[in-house]
A and B are shown apart, each in its own frame.
Chain A
Amino acid sequence: GEDVEQSLFLSVREGDSSVINCTYTDSSSTYLYWYKQEPGAGLQLLTYIFSNMDMKQDQRLTVLLNKKDKHLSLRIADTQTGDSAIYFCAETAYSNNAGNMLTFGGGTRLMVKP
Chain B
Amino acid sequence: GAGVSQTPSNKVTEKGKYVELRCDPISGHTALYWYRQSLGQGPEFLIYFQGTGAADDSGLPNDRFFAVRPEGSVSTLKIQRTERGDSAVYLCASSPRQGSYEQYFGPGTRLTVT
Residues of A at the B interface (CB closer than 8 Å) are 4, 31, 35, 40-45, 48, 88, 90, 92, 94-107
Contacts and interface: CB of A to CB of B under 8 A. Distances in A.
Contacts of B56: 98-99, 101
B42 interface: yes
Nearest to A41: B107
Contacts of A107: 40-42
B106 A101 contact: no
Interface string B6-44: 000000000000000000000000010101000011111
Contacts of B40: 106-107
Interface in B64-114: 91, 93, 95, 98-108
Given A31-B101, A42-B91, A45-B102, A99 B31 contact: yes
Contacts of B42: 4, 88, 90, 104-107
Contacts of A35: 105
A107 B40 CA distance: 8
List the 10 closest A-B pairs by CB distance, nearest first: A104-B42, A99-B48, A96-B99, A43-B105, A101-B45, A42-B107, A42-B105, A31-B101, A106-B42, A99-B56
B103 A45 contact: yes
5 contacts: A96-B98, A96-B99, A98-B55, A105-B42, A106-B40
B45 A102 contact: yes
B61 interface: no
Contacts of B100: 100
Given A42-B106, A42-B108, A100 B101 contact: yes
